[in-house]
Chains A and B, each alone.
Chain A
Amino acid sequence: MTATTIAPAPAPAPGGGRAPRRRGRLREMREATPLTYLALILTVITSIFPMWWMFVIATRDSAAASQWPPAVLPGGDLLGNMERLFANSTANFTTGLLNSLIASTVVSVSVVFFCSLAGFALGKLKFAGRTFFTVAVVVTMAVPVQVGIIPLLIMMDWFGWRGELQSVIVPFMVSGFGVFMMRQYVLQTVPDELIEAARIDGCSTFRVYWSVVLPALRPAMVVLGLLTFMQTWNEFIWALAVLTPDNPTVQFSINQLNESAYSRDFALMFTGATFATLPLLIIFIVLGRQLVGRIMEGAIKA
């Protein structure tokens, strides 16, 4: 889980302040050479090929995965492969897909809500211990929580949650990274005057959060939600430890194929892999541009 943390990299612009933003044509940039484009195109091919090939094999038979030269064009077996996949009793793929969709959605909504609430409090409200709590949040970001996996499983037994869907939801409903990201964003975008004005209008603190802070936070919330969705979707070791083959997440489900006698049935496995990637791909197509912006912004600010 920790691996997907976005970097609030402490890259200080030399000379103290942030370097002024230069946009578009005003920025003096070096010219690209043909070599530049060659390097970029090679990178693009490397980035895309494994995913494309995954899709291609999902539309063909298993022999295509071992074929040389490699198959690069889709075939006509996708529907047949899908039929086999969704009917496969080892994988329980339908349940897995559904479970992952539910878990990732619930966790994302919860993380966005709780983290924006806490981020608002830490960024804009005055209370005793605020600095302490802010530092505490930052410290939690560096804690490799995955290490506590054994006691967490023991706890699931206490609660009777082993094998149940809530075991992959409830433990992930907050994130220190999310709180910190929201706090930074609140500080940047919500002026104190706006909050004071709302209070003078008689808003309670929660009302201020709901009607003033949340709308301002929307762009950051979208990115945090997307990252959390992706992270929950990708959760692997914990799902493997706590769930059972009859009630899997999608990652667990494709791993079942990989570990079983089906591991030579590449068409089947790659069809599973394709469907395990598809929701993330859709999100990427819709929100990829914002994500790029956020990663780059996170690298300079904070």
Chain B
Amino acid sequence: MTSTEHGAPPSARSADPRPAATATGRRPGRNRGTLMSRLDVKGSPYLFIAPFFVLFGVFGLFPLLYTVWVSLHEWSLIGGNEGFIGLDNYVRLATDAKFWLALYNTLGIFLIAVVPQLLLALTLADVLNRRIRGQSAFRMTLILPYITSIAALAIVFSQLFGSEFGLINQALGYLGFDPINWRGDKYFSWVAIAVMIDWRWTGYNALIYLAAMQAVPKDVYEAASLDGASRLRQFFQITIPMLRPTIIFTVIISTIGQMQLFTEPAIFDTGGNMAGGTQGQFQTVMMLVFQEAFRYGNYGYGSAIAWVLFVLVVVLGLVNTLISSRIKGA
């Protein structure tokens, strides 16, 4: 950058030592390399990135690392730090049935949500990848659910999935089916929560897939058509393989997000103690963290759970990345 280094007149410069500029002078080429302008060119980049790194360091990185420290202590809301206890919290966690149940629930809800979401989003993208009247209106409606208040819609869905007067059970009754105990039954509660997640994210992912589909060169399809491949076959043997990196990317993002699932099940669970139903049947790991730390005041134990969740997210992310690079290489 030194080649383009041109200072403003020193008078204008020295009046204001900040990199934020007073430089109003338009006299090019003079006073090249004065102290202030050299400081500006050398220092400004660091000054510009500093707010991000400082704020992220203080409110992002530090709490994350401090989680480990807290987890190694007997630490409570009332008593504060009550001393180092080593790995005791982790030992407790390993034998805590509630933790394993919450982990099982989180993974279960994730799988129930992500698989149909993927298939639906791909189908929708394929549907949209045609000559359609009102294409842009359809696209906008698709991401409407993405732009909503999660908590508000979780309240609406909680009523839709109500066991007595919920709209869905009433519809089932109208069609001659027995009502479903959406909150009480473990797997149905997972389904209800998965529906909330998918309602929000399917259209969004469909748009991403649609963009990727439109980047596939048309001559590939033309060649396939000439070879007599059917539309369905083209979808599975051209579109899906071409979209693989995008699909894997969206799956990684969903994994990171859904492992921390909280809002939907927390609101589905009326009562507010984050128990996730009477038997903890839909308590997620993040709900357990919240319950232990903020309802029971066990900061130390809550931090241990949170840290295990963090490691899990990182490991899952790495596995995902590894698989994706393996597939890309193959």
Residues of A within 8 A of B (CB): 2-3, 5, 7, 9-15, 18-19, 22, 27-32, 36-37, 39-40, 43-44, 46-48, 50-51, 53-54, 65-66, 68, 70, 114-115, 117-118, 120-122, 125-127, 130, 133, 136-137, 140, 142-155, 170-174, 176, 179, 195-196, 199-207, 209-210, 230, 233-234, 236-237, 240-241, 250-251, 254-255, 258-259, 263, 266, 269-270, 272-274, 276-277, 280-281, 283-284, 288-289, 291-292, 295-300
Residue of A with least CB distance to B258: A3
Partner of B250 from the list A9, A70, A266 (CB cut-off 8 Å) is A9
Contact A277:B217 (CB < 8 A) given known A36-B127, A151-B67, A202-B6: no
Taken residue by residue from 117 to 151, chain B's Cβ proximity to chain A (1 for < 8 Å, 0 otherwise) reads as 00000011001111111001011111111011111
Give chain B residues whose Cβ lies under 8 Å from the Cβ of A3: 256-258, 260
Most buried by B among A15, A205, A259, A297: A205
Q: Are B259 and A144 in contact (CB under 8 A)?
A: yes
Partner of B60 from the list A13, A148, A179 (CB cut-off 8 Å) is A148
Give chain B residues whose Cβ lies under 8 Å from the Cβ of A172: 59
Contact A31:B131 (CB < 8 A) given known A118-B49, A234-B149, A259-B270: yes
A133→B19 CA distance, assembly (Å):
21
Q: Are A300 and B211 in contact (CB under 8 A)?
A: yes
State which residues 1-53 of B face A: CB under 8 Å.
1, 4-9, 18-23, 25-29, 37, 40-42, 44-46, 48-49, 51-53
Give chain A residues whose Cβ lies under 8 Å from the Cβ of B22: 204
Q: Are B152 and A276 in contact (CB under 8 A)?
A: yes
Residue of A with least CB distance to B63: A148
30 contacts between A and B (CB under 8 A): A10-B245, A14-B220, A19-B217, A30-B130, A37-B132, A39-B127, A51-B144, A51-B148, A65-B165, A117-B51, A121-B48, A136-B53, A143-B60, A144-B259, A144-B313, A147-B67, A151-B64, A153-B293, A170-B55, A203-B21, A204-B20, A204-B22, A233-B149, A237-B290, A251-B149, A258-B270, A277-B152, A284-B144, A288-B140, A289-B140
How many B residues face the partner with a CB closer than 8 A? 131
Residue of B with least CB distance to A203: B23
A31→B130 CA distance, assembly (Å):
6
Residue of A with least CB distance to B50: A118
Q: Are A274 and B152 in contact (CB under 8 A)?
A: yes
Give chain A residues whose Cβ lies under 8 Å from the Cβ of B260: 2-3, 144, 146-147
A155→B70 CA distance, assembly (Å):
12
Taken residue by residue from 202 to 221, chain B's Cβ proximity to chain A (1 for < 8 Å, 0 otherwise) reads as 01100111111011111010
State which residues 84-130 of B face A: CB under 8 Å.
123-124, 127-130
A145-B60, A150-B302 known; 12 new pairs, CB 8 Å cut-off, are A11-B246, A27-B214, A43-B203, A115-B52, A130-B45, A148-B63, A150-B63, A152-B59, A200-B29, A251-B149, A272-B155, A299-B211
Residue of B with least CB distance to A41: B138
Q: Does B240 contact A (CB under 8 A)?
A: no
Q: Are B167 and A70 in contact (CB under 8 A)?
A: yes
A70→B123 CA distance, assembly (Å):
29
Partner of A259 from the list B140, B165, B272, B302 (CB cut-off 8 Å) is B272
**How far in angstroms is the closest Cβ of chain A from B122?**
13
Q: Are A292 and B5 in contact (CB under 8 A)?
A: no
Partner of A288 from the list B55, B147, B217, B231 (CB cut-off 8 Å) is B147
Partner of A236 from the list B143, B210, B220, B263 (CB cut-off 8 Å) is B263
A143→B313 CA distance, assembly (Å):
9
**How far in angstroms is the closest Cβ of chain B from A225?**
14
Q: Are A205 and B40 in contact (CB under 8 A)?
A: yes
A136→B53 CA distance, assembly (Å):
9
A125→B91 CA distance, assembly (Å):
50
A36→B220 CA distance, assembly (Å):
23
Contact A273:B155 (CB < 8 A) given known A11-B246, A125-B1, A143-B64: yes
Q: Are A40 and B52 in contact (CB under 8 A)?
A: no
A237→B7 CA distance, assembly (Å):
50
Q: Are A10 and B249 in contact (CB under 8 A)?
A: yes
Give the top 9 A-B pairs by smallest Cβ distance, nearest first: A148-B63, A66-B165, A3-B257, A204-B21, A259-B272, A273-B152, A207-B21, A205-B44, A121-B48
Q: Are A295 and B208 in contact (CB under 8 A)?
A: yes
Q: Are B143 and A276 in contact (CB under 8 A)?
A: no
Q: Are A254 and B309 in contact (CB under 8 A)?
A: no
Partner of B130 from the list A32, A130, A233 (CB cut-off 8 Å) is A32
Q: Are A270 and B211 in contact (CB under 8 A)?
A: no
Q: Are A146 and B245 in contact (CB under 8 A)?
A: no
Contact A47:B141 (CB < 8 A) given known A121-B44, A206-B19: yes
Give chain B residues whose Cβ lies under 8 Å from the Cβ of A54: 152-153, 156
Give chain B residues whose Cβ lies under 8 Å from the Cβ of A70: 167, 170
**How far in angstroms is the closest Cβ of chain A from B328?**
9
Give chain A residues whose Cβ lies under 8 Å from the Cβ of B224: none
Q: Are A147 and B270 in contact (CB under 8 A)?
A: no
Q: Are A173 and B142 in contact (CB under 8 A)?
A: no
**How far in angstroms is the closest Cβ of chain A from B276?**
14
Residue of B with least CB distance to A121: B48
Q: Are B132 and A36 in contact (CB under 8 A)?
A: yes
Q: Are B62 and A151 in contact (CB under 8 A)?
A: yes
Give chain A residues whose Cβ lies under 8 Å from the Cβ of B132: 32, 36-37, 40
**How far in angstroms is the closest Cβ of chain A from B165?**
3
Give chain B residues whose Cβ lies under 8 Å from the Cβ of A140: 56, 60-61
Give chain A residues whose Cβ lies under 8 Å from the Cβ of B6: 199-200, 202
Q: Are B147 and A149 in contact (CB under 8 A)?
A: no
